[in-house]
Chains A and B, each alone.
Chain A
Amino acid sequence: MTATTGELEFLAKDRAALLWLGIALLVASLSVFLGLREVGAQRTVLGALVENDRAEREVLTGLHQDWGSVAYYTFHLTYDLPSDFAFAALGTRDTAPWKHRVRALALEGQIYETDADNPDFALIGRFDFAFAASMLVPLLLILLLHDLRSRERTAGRYELLSATSASAGSPWFARAALRVGALLLCLIVPLLIGGLLAATSASKLALASLVVTLHIGFWWGVCAAIDRLCWSSPVNLTALIGIWLALASIVPATIKGSVEAAVPLPDGGTIMLTQREAVNDAWDLPKSATMEPFIERHPEWAEYAEISESFEWKWYYAFQQVGDQVAEPLSNAYREGRIKRDRLAGRLAWLSPPALVERTLQGIAGTSMTDSIAYEQRVRDFHSTLRHYYYPRLFRDEAVSDASLRERPEFSAMNK
């Protein structure tokens, strides 16, 4: 029997180690299952919405005879498809909106109106593979490794084990390596099975496995360093839990607080309110108060800027845009602020390996803050295309035709 098979047999009879490994397997499997279920539900919702969206536009075709009504009543679904690895790291998909039904009206309110729902989701919390791998796994590793040497010292076996071992590092390295390897298997196997079910690309799975392996390697190093100090098992455990608490909770909380203090930004609700107030006020203002700032932005429509009736669709859509223009500085500040915060948080995350792992996995999954902002930009781009489609028809008062409707832009989701 080799030393490795000896350790393997020994591990197979260590009930405490088997318990922690079983919990690791359960946690990883559950997180993958819940992630697959959540992403499946999101895909089902999107599938139904895409179908409804198309059917609704078909029903509306021919129903309205002026472009103002067509633009007012027609919604366009925009959405962010979950990637093939999103099941493992849901990231911002449960705190930031990933679908909007937008019209050619003022955009800011349409983008941020869903923000008000988010605290409900945030309260429930997220349990995905990224959370398990970044926050829970270090804890399980600590429970597996904290007393490798110390319990042998307490039991009076340390010298016997060391003296019996043929090589200087044995059996401690082999014993720790087997536990680390087993823990890694308990994590990676459910992830790979989830990846197979979700048809995840091999490169993403390989990268995610590497990240998890490096993270476990880091905590193995921490456990080994503490173990070398020759403290008792309870002291080792206390020290390691303290380090885990600091790196997984206190440091990230401090980073979050510092980043928020360093980069203040308006909230989505304020942007929505500013835009809506601007739009509502426009009804009571002289038409010129709307058309002048609109024409400043769109001089190509200057010759159509005169509003002679009490209500004209082109004026209506102009004040929708002006509403967006009023909220624009806030909206830009919000967007740029979030990007700044994200970059700063990304740099500071190196101080907290668990936070860094969670961010990295979200990056692989396309569920990071950067991805959320990119999706928001795609919604803005699409909305801009929509306006550019409607404005010539509204300002020139063209007749609605099937041929023209067929040219109407469609949102196309990006596959990640």
Chain B
Amino acid sequence: MTTMLFAKALSVERSGQRVLNNVSFKVDQGEVQALLGGNGAGKSTTLLTFLGFLTPASGSAQVQGKESRDDVGAARRAIAYLPEAATLYDHLNAYENLRYFLSLAKADAHRRTLDAALERVALQAEAREMRMHTYSKGMRQKVAIALAILRESPILLLDEPTSGLDPAAIDDFNRLVRELAEDGRTILLVTHDVYGACHVADRIHLLHKGELAGTFDRPSGIDRIDTEAVHAAFATHAAVS
């Protein structure tokens, strides 16, 4: 199995403070892994380091076997990134937003392709021509997810992707993530939603104060990771902090 993302003894400092300390994990092609943790655990920092926005203080962050800081462009071309509370342009409609961002990525932006992606994230057809300032938070998130899908990058980094989605939409999203993984896409998502992570991920890394506090795998033949075990570990660390 090809390793798509590899954090090797990764440490990162921001404003002179160590926010990620000696974290190691790897994500193989077609896998869904989740970084779970409370605020300030280092989840988003990990994603930003893979994207080359942050430079490791020590260790390495590799994308498709290459150090991301050595070729930031190549790393970003390989990754579709969905930031937390992704804000697209309010003065554009869904099609215009997607076309604009895809033009930056030099990706296909035919109307049929856009409609297919928007269908996949269940954004109502009648809303697609409306400017995004009329959208709810969940609808905006759906367009952002559609953008990540349309990038057709082998790797998806999703930062709190279900934030703002209603329970039905979260369920749809989880199903979509599994479909993408079955298509061969590699997905690393950041969340503090224990239940959602257990349902969608093959492996969960629990981060606490910048350090890896535990790893939980989906047992073979079972459709989800043991929610109670993860919850217990998460609660223990929350209590300690």
Q: Which residues of A contact B (CB under 8 A)?
A: 1-3, 5-7, 9-10, 13-15, 155-157, 159-168, 170-171
Q: Which of A155, A156, A170 contacts B104 (CB 8 A)?
A: A170
**Total number of B residues with any Cβ neighbor in A under 8 Å:** 33
Asked if A167 and B81 make an inter-chain contact with CB atoms under 8 angstroms apart, the answer reads no
Q: Which residues of B contact A162 (CB under 8 A)?
A: 53, 76
A14 to B105, CA, bound (A): 20
Q: How far is the CA of A1 from the CA of B147 in the complex (A)?
A: 15
Contacts of B80 in A (CB 8 A): 164
| Cross-chain pairs A/B with CB under 8 angstroms, 18 sampled | A1-B102, A2-B106, A6-B99, A6-B102, A6-B104, A9-B99, A13-B91, A156-B86, A156-B87, A159-B48, A160-B83, A160-B101, A162-B53, A164-B147, A165-B76, A165-B104, A166-B77, A170-B104
A14 vs B92: C-alpha distance when bound (angstroms): 9
Nearest residue, chain A, Cβ from B97:
A10
Structural contact, B109 and A1, CB atoms closer than 8 A: yes
Lowest 5 CB-CB distances: which A-B pairs, in order?
Answer: A6-B103, A163-B81, A1-B103, A165-B104, A156-B87
Known contacts A156-B83, A157-B87; 12 additional CB pairs below 8 A are A1-B109, A3-B104, A6-B99, A156-B85, A159-B48, A159-B81, A160-B101, A162-B76, A163-B79, A164-B104, A164-B151, A168-B73
| B204 within 8 A of partner (CB) | no
Contact indicator A167/B91 (Cβ below 8 Å): no
Shortest CB-to-CB span from A52 to chain B, Å, is 61
Out of B89, B96, B103, name the residue touching A5 (CB < 8 Å): B103
Interface presence of B213 (CB below 8 A)? no
A13 CA to B96 CA, complexed, in Å: 10
Task: Please report the number of residue pairs spanning A and B whose Cβ atoms sit closer than 8 angstroms.
Answer: 79
Q: How far is the CB of A1 from chain B (nearest CB, A)?
A: 5
Residues of chain A within 8 A of B100, CB atoms compared:
6, 9-10
Return chain A residues, CB-CB under 8 Å to B73: 166-168
Complex Cα–Cα for A212 and B81 (A): 41
In the complex, the answer to whether B102 meets A166 with C-beta atoms within 8 Å is: no
> Cβ of B53: which chain A residues have Cβ within 8 Å of it?
159, 162-163
- Chain B nearest CB from A90 CB (Å) reads 41
Judge whether A3 and B85 touch: CB under 8 Å. no
| Interface contact A166-B105, CB-CB below 8 Å | yes
For the complex, what is the distance from the CA of A102 to the CA of B106, rounded to whole Å? 72
Assembled-state Cα–Cα distance A171/B106 (Å) = 12
Residue ranges of B at the interface with A (Cβ–Cβ < 8 Å): 48, 51, 53, 72-73, 76-77, 79-89, 91-92, 96, 99-106, 109, 144, 147, 151
Q: Which residue in A160, A168, A170 is a CB contact (below 8 Å) of B86?
A: A160
Question: How distant is the Cα of A165 from the Cα of B80 in the complex, in angstroms?
Answer: 10
Q: B103: which of A2, A15, A160 is its contact (CB, 8 Å)?
A: A2
Cross-chain contact A165 with B87 (CB below 8 angstroms): no
A171–B105 alpha-carbon span in the complex (Å): 10
A171 touches B99 (CB 8 A): no
Complex contact B99–A164 (CB within 8 A): no
Q: Which chain A positions have C-beta within 8 A of B147? A: 164
Which residues of A are found within 8 Å of B104, using beta-carbon distances?
A: 3, 6, 161, 164-166, 170-171
Are A159's CB and B96's CB within 8 A? no
Residues of B within 8 A of A1 (CB): 99, 102-103, 109
CA distance A161 to B85 in the complex (A): 14
Q: How far is the CB of B78 from chain A (nearest CB, A)?
A: 11
CB-defined contacts of A10 to chain B, threshold 8 Å:
89, 92, 100
A9 to B89, CA, bound (A): 13
Most buried by A among B53, B100, B151: B100
Q: Which of B48, B72, B83 contacts A168 (CB 8 A)?
A: B72
| Chain A contacts for B144, CB-based, 8 A | 160
Could you tell me if A164 and B106 are in contact, using CB atoms closer than 8 angstroms? no
Nearest-neighbor residue (CB-CB) of B73 within chain A: A168
Query: For the complex, what is the distance from the CA of A167 to the CA of B76, rounded to whole Å?
Result: 9
Smallest CB–CB gap between B131 and chain A, Å?
10
Residues in B with CB closer than 8 Å to A155 are 87
